[in-house]
Amino acid sequence: MRCPKRIKPIINLNTPMMTDKLILKGPANRIFRLLSILVLLVYIFCCSAVINPASAQMPTKTIYFLSGIRDHASPTVGGRHEVAKDMLVLQHCIDSVANIKGVKIITKYLPERSALNVDDLKGVDAVIVEASSVTSSQRRTHPIFPPLAAGAKYDKATLAYLNQIDSLQAAGMGIMMLHWGITAEGNLPATEHYLRWFGEAGHPNYTQNPLGYWIVTPIKAAAKHPILRGVKPWVYKDEIFSRLIVNPGDPYRTDLLMGESPETNQSEVGSPKNVISPRCIASAYEKGKQRGVLWGGMDFHSALLNENYLRFVLNEIVWVAGIDVPKGGVKTNAKQLQLAPINKTYEKTKIPEGYIEPKLPNTK
């Protein structure tokens, strides 16, 4: 058997390198040294970028704020059901967050989303939705659900799209909904998805939306839940969609807030007229990577001027996105907390002790 021919090395290691003979003198030498130092500095800079994880490998979280069309409450007075302006203020608050470290938050605002596919939601860590109910009108009011005529059923393509939302949430895209958008009574497929996403749903002729001054208190048993960090009881005027229904014994749901009101525009069986006795008004749902919350308040834009109210909502947004809620709750440097006038309607009902009149930051 013949041995293979020995391959002649391209570089003769015994031959002195060219640089050994390359001796520069005078100004050329200085230029070479300066160039060497420059190359070295660039190298060090690049290395530091790679080594410093805070800047190079900082995780990113993307939060989308989706608002529906504002088809409800007075268009001229303003300050209520401000689906777009609420979202813009909350986005601004998250963009100006002061105490979240180690994560880069990217936000995006999408008004009046009409897509029936999930292309625009891929890679998103949380969608925050404020809208009228999907059942509000035959126009599309809800960024996630298309309208459904009475007695009609979603077609296969729409059902498949909604199932894809399930998959996105199961994979870690948190979902949060605010105000009327949290109820889908009369739309069965939507109700089923709500139960899956949030472990709770509105129920026809049972779920209510009492409007009055609410006393809202964090539930003691949930005091360790991240969403309640830094959140104290508050009193504020609100229309809170509540009396949602849940599965008994559901290990994935944590009830967060109780609410009651001495006088509202609605009544309940067993209580004096217009009085709302304590009821659970907010829960958080966590099942594996899946996170979901419904917040039935957020009627009045001015609620965002209430410190605890705002903290609760910001904590919810951050938690839904899978970001660690900082100790003491989310703090923001945002200055413009109001994009609509303070709405003075419904102020003649009983006001509980502890109510603080909202004031714009620049007013005395």
Partner 1 sequence: MINFKQTIKTGVVAILAFTGSLALSQPALAQVPTKTIYFLAGNKDHVGAEGTGRHETRLDLVVLQHCIDSATNIKGVKIITKLLYKRDAVNIDDLKGVDAIIVESSSVTSQVTRTHPIFPGLAKDAKGYDKATLAYLNQIDSLQEAGMGIMMLHWGIAADSQNPQFNAARDHYMQWFGEAAIPAYTQNPLGFWKITPIEAAKKHPILRGVQAWNYKDEIFSRLMVRPGDPYRTDLLMGESPATNQSEVGSPKGVISPRCVASAYEKGKQRGVLWGGMDYHSALLNPNYLRFVLNEIVWTAGIDVPKGGVKTAAKQLQIARPNSSFDNLKPVDFVLK
- The residues that touch partner 1, with contacts defined as CB under 8 A, are 188, 191-192, 195-196, 200, 203-206, 219, 243-250, 253, 255, 258, 269-270, 279-280, 283
Question: How far apart, in Å, are the Cα atoms of 164 and each of 121, 155, 159, 173, 321?
Answer: 10, 14, 9, 11, 18
At 96, list the tokens. Answer: 């100006």
**Residue 76 or 205: which CB sits closer to partner 1?**
205
What number of helices (H) and strands (E) belong to the chain? 7, 11
The least distance separating partner 1 from the CB of residue 315, rounded to whole angstroms, comes to 19
Collapse the DSSP code of 294 into the 3-class scheme (helix H, G, I; strand E, B; otherwise coil) and give the result.
Answer: strand
Question: How far apart, in Å, are the Cα atoms of 197 and each of 155, 163, 179, 204?
Answer: 21, 11, 16, 19
The least distance separating partner 1 from the CB of residue 285, rounded to whole angstroms, comes to 11
The least distance separating partner 1 from the CB of residue 271, rounded to whole angstroms, comes to 12
The least distance separating partner 1 from the CB of residue 73, rounded to whole angstroms, comes to 26
> Given its phi and psi angles, is residue 166 left (phi above 0), alpha (psi -120 to 50 degrees) or beta?
alpha
**Residue 205 or 362: which CB sits closer to partner 1?**
205
Name residue 236's amino acid: Y
**Residue 4 or 270: which CB sits closer to partner 1?**
270
**Residue 280 or 340: which CB sits closer to partner 1?**
280
**Residue 191 or 302: which CB sits closer to partner 1?**
191
Q: Is residue 225 a contact partner of residue 284, using CB atoms and an 8 Å limit? A: yes
The least distance separating partner 1 from the CB of residue 322, rounded to whole angstroms, comes to 21
**Residue 66 or 276: which CB sits closer to partner 1?**
276
The least distance separating partner 1 from the CB of residue 221, rounded to whole angstroms, comes to 9
Cβ contacts of residue 184 below 8 Å, gap of 6+? 133, 134, 135, 145, 190, 191, 194, 201, 202
Q: Is 145 exposed, middle or buried (0-12, 13-18, 19+ CB in 10 A)?
A: buried
The least distance separating partner 1 from the CB of residue 38, rounded to whole angstroms, comes to 60
**Residue 163 or 333: which CB sits closer to partner 1?**
163
